[in-house]
Amino acid sequence: MSPDAVPATRGGARAITAALEEAGVTLVPSVPDTWIGWLMEELRRSRTLRVIDVAREEDAVAIACGAALGGARAAVVIQNAGLLNCGAVIASLVQLYRIPCFFLVSYRGDARDPVYYHAPKGERTEPTLAAWSVRHVRAEGPARIGVQIRQAVAWVEEAQAPLALSFSAEDLA
């Protein structure tokens, strides 16, 4: 699939939506990009998920943390470039106060996204997450992504720590 081609079936996007609902997520703050836009179309169809578009990724994290402090579950949906902007809020809010924060991240610039101008952020995503002590998991395709999301949300709640699950356009198909 070309990096900007719309997934034909979007079964992975439907699986993501169902998994978030099953995991008890009710709030989805997001800064959309191309891949996220396809996912957000599915998320907006949900009767239980409230999608909030924000201007900055740090705002999405703050909204998710506020939801967690109020007893709700959120999933921050952003691109890896935006995640790389979030170091301060992850350290000074999420990790300092041990707030569960689940990130669903479109992984631009990895081997599944051959667009040259995304490559630098793809090369830096995993090393940066490791330096920040943020657990990272890559989606394993549309058939497994639902299970991975449910496991990730459970882990975040139990560990009271952030986790980033990254996906590609192939995972939305």
In the chain, the DSSP E strands lie at: 25-30, 50-53, 73-79, 101-106, 135-138, 162-167
How far from the centroid of its chain's Cα atoms is residue 22's Cα?
16
Model confidence pLDDT, tens digit, residues 31-61: 988 888 889 999 999 999 999 999 999 999 9
Domain edges within the chain: 11-171
For 47-105, how does the pLDDT look when each residue is reduced to its tens digit (9 = 90+)? 999 999 999 999 999 999 999 999 999 999 999 999 999 999 999 999 999 999 999 99
Continuous segment of H or E residues that includes residue 47: none
CATH of domain 11-171: 3.40.50.970
pLDDT of 7: 47
Spatial separation of the C-alpha atoms in residues 36 and 128, rounded to whole Å: 21
The whole-angstrom separation of Cα 142 and Cα 168 is: 10
